Amino acid sequence: YNSRRAKGPFIKVNCAALPESLLESELFGHEQGAFTGAQTLRQGLFERANEGTLLLDEIGEMPVILQAKLLRVLQEQEIRKLGSSTTIPINVRIITATNRNLPDMIEQGLFRLDLYYRISMFTLVIPPLRERIDDILPLSEHFLKSFKIHHSITPALQELLLSYSWKGNIRELQNCIEYMAYMGSRALTPDDLPPGYNKKIITTSQTDLIHSQKDSPISNSSVEFSDLFSRE
């Protein structure tokens, strides 16, 4: 919003959502008759994003063959459509995003080292939600307000939300809150959590009785979730 490209186009593509053949055509475009089904000339995303920004989301899912072609585009600042013998100059800022460990993928031969250095000249690392616990409750309140349903989060539920690891990060939290917004009571309690969020109260002594959330103050217990994806 504050760059010199703010008024230019902002184009985004999820590299994991398209197969290799379609992804190449989507990025670089194709000439008419370049392959079966290419009945018309197609402008690629690089061309559409000229003088603007192109976001390549989930770049860790991009096939190695395409990584080589992407590296050439970044270095030469020109593209070639599928089925074409001519190049088109482009001026595009590239933003990439991934939740994969790219250095590990490089060791496994799944990601090109030269492309990694090319795209990581300026890197922003967004910590997982479990490492910024202070964000969990404000985000939960924000999601509740966005659904325009008036609920409150009880202290017992707050304790559980703060203790869970949120492996799915903000998307998982949002889905959890959305379920409770539509299916829960006015004052949301641990009983309003989606199915599969098994909650377990562990007392200081193994011989102590396990009380329900309604019978035992949450502040007197340590709370932990079992694996969200476990099944009975």
Q: What is the pLDDT of residue 196?
A: 75
Work out the pLDDT band at 36, boundaries 50, 70, 90: low
Q: What is the pLDDT of residue 51?
A: 93
Quick: pLDDT tens for 5-28. Answer: 989 999 999 988 888 778 878 888
* Range 42-47 average pLDDT: 83
| pTM (predicted TM-score) | 0.66
| Amino acid, res. 169 | N
- Measured from the Cβ of residue 180, the count of other Cβ atoms closer than 10 Å reads 24
Write the CA distances from 112 to 65, 71, 203, integer angstroms: 10, 9, 50
Q: What is the pLDDT of residue 221?
A: 37
Q: Is 19 exposed, middle or buried (0-12, 13-18, 19+ CB in 10 A)?
A: exposed
Q: Under a CB-based contact definition with an 8 Å cutoff, are residues 149 and 181 in contact?
A: yes
DSSP track, the chain:
--STTTTS-EEEEETTSS-HHHHHHHHHEE-TTSSTT--S-EE-HHHHTTTSEEEEETGGGS-HHHHHHHHHHHHH-EE--BT-SS-EE---EEEEE-SS-HHHHHHTTSS-HHHHHHH-SS------GGG-GGGHHHHHHHHHHHTT---EE-HHHHHHHHHS--TTHHHHHHHHHHHHHHHS-SEE-GGGSPTT--EEEE-SSTTS----TTTS-GGGSEEEE--TT---
More confident residue, 19 or 94: 94
Q: What is the pLDDT of residue 198?
A: 55
| Amino acid, res. 61 | E
The residues with which 153 forms a beta bridge, in sequence order, are 188
Q: What is the pLDDT of residue 115?
A: 94
Quick: pLDDT tens for 190-207. Answer: 888 888 775 532 222 233
